[in-house]
Amino acid sequence: MISRACILFFCLLAITGCQDTDLYLATEAGLDAVQAVTLSDRDVHRLAEEAARLTDSKNRLAAPASDYARRLERLAGRHLEADGFRFTCKVYLSPEINGFAMADGTIRIYSGLMDMMTDGELRFVLGHEMGHVVRKHIRKKIQMAYAASALRKGIASQGNTAGAIAASQLGGFTEMLVNAQFSQQEEREADDYGAAFLQQHAYGPEHAVSALRKLATLGNDHSFLASHPAPGARADRLEKGVPIPAETSSFLEQSLTRLKLLISSLDEHMKVLLSGVGF
């Protein structure tokens, strides 16, 4: 029986047709685009680890004996395992007000954000980032960033100027992942997880509201708000105790679901097509 990878290869060959097409890159692009929505937990973990290593190599990590690292260890040290995840928290020495998480449990907090927050507020930030991991928001971002990098491979497989520009951008996967914007629903879920984290460990829930109020003072054009939108409205919601609307799926979730259904349909058509073909 001819393999699906071979069928996909021949389809790509027929589609591209040009002599100056890099068929290896073109085939890899098609396979990556399909695999992006069916990544295994192991694949997601591996991609997250690679992205974390890359960002660590490009930033200055606080030494374990530094005041920043010791403070973060004091605040997060006994909370590094939750809901089946083990978290690794470190500090980037930078005045930037930012923080992010990876799907493998990596959490990085910038010293500028630590300077801005009290201990209670910083605990909420940690709980919020944990929430993004536990609720698998980061996994969805990896799927989309991975699919986008596959698209660039497809463009790069063409021997032209556009392809050359795209090829030079193939390393942008990690940047896309770190800077990916969360939906309002995802932010609400992460906020609720962070607030529950405070309550679970007997920390004052008011720290969640005050942390978001501080972030709201940054202004709409601040880079942090590009990936963490509407902190003022989120603070209002937590302060009023407004629950998350029942099952409001994001555009990303809907898109991934539709793509999975399309792949499943194509898979069934391929089985029929190949049912009488053998080698």
Could you list the mean pLDDT of each consecutive 10-residue stretch along the chain, which spans 279 residues?
45 46 55 64 84 90 97 90 92 95 94 97 96 92 77 57 50 73 90 93 92 88 68 92 50 52 53 47
Q: What is the pLDDT of residue 174?
A: 76
CB atoms within 10 A of CB 72: 21
Closest CA to 29 of 45, 6, 9: 9
Q: Is 88 helix (H, G, I), strand (E, B) or coil?
A: strand
Q: What is the pLDDT of residue 107?
A: 96
User: Which of the following is catalytic: 28, 121, 129, 189?
Assistant: 129
**Cα 17 from Cα 5, distance rounded (Å):** 18
CB 225 within 8 Å of CB 231? yes
Tokens representing residue 233 in the block: 């409205």
Q: What is the pLDDT of residue 130?
A: 95
Q: How many helices (H) and strands (E) are present in the chain, helices listed first?
A: 14, 5
Q: What is the pLDDT of residue 275?
A: 52
Residues 6 or more apart from 117 whose CB is under 8 A from it? 125, 211, 214
Q: What is the pLDDT of residue 261?
A: 52
Q: What is the pLDDT of residue 14?
A: 44
**Cα dihedral across residues 31, 35, 41, 44: positive or negative:** positive
Residues 6 or more apart from 160 whose CB is under 8 A from it? 20
Q: What is the pLDDT of residue 210?
A: 97
**Cα 274 from Cα 136, distance rounded (Å):** 36
Phi–psi pair at 275, nearest 5 degrees: -60, -30
Longest dimension (CA), the chain: 68
| Residue corresponding to tokens 């403070």 | 71
- Strand pairing class (88-92; 106-110): parallel
**Cα 130 from Cα 138, distance rounded (Å):** 10
Q: What is the pLDDT of residue 278?
A: 46
CB 92 within 8 Å of CB 107? no
| Residue corresponding to tokens 């047709």 | 17
Q: What is the pLDDT of residue 73?
A: 95
In the residue annotation, 129 being an active-site residue is answered as yes
Q: What is the pLDDT of residue 175?
A: 78
Radius of gyration from C-alpha coordinates of the chain: 22
CB 98 within 8 Å of CB 110? yes
Phi–psi pair at 61, nearest 5 degrees: -80, 140
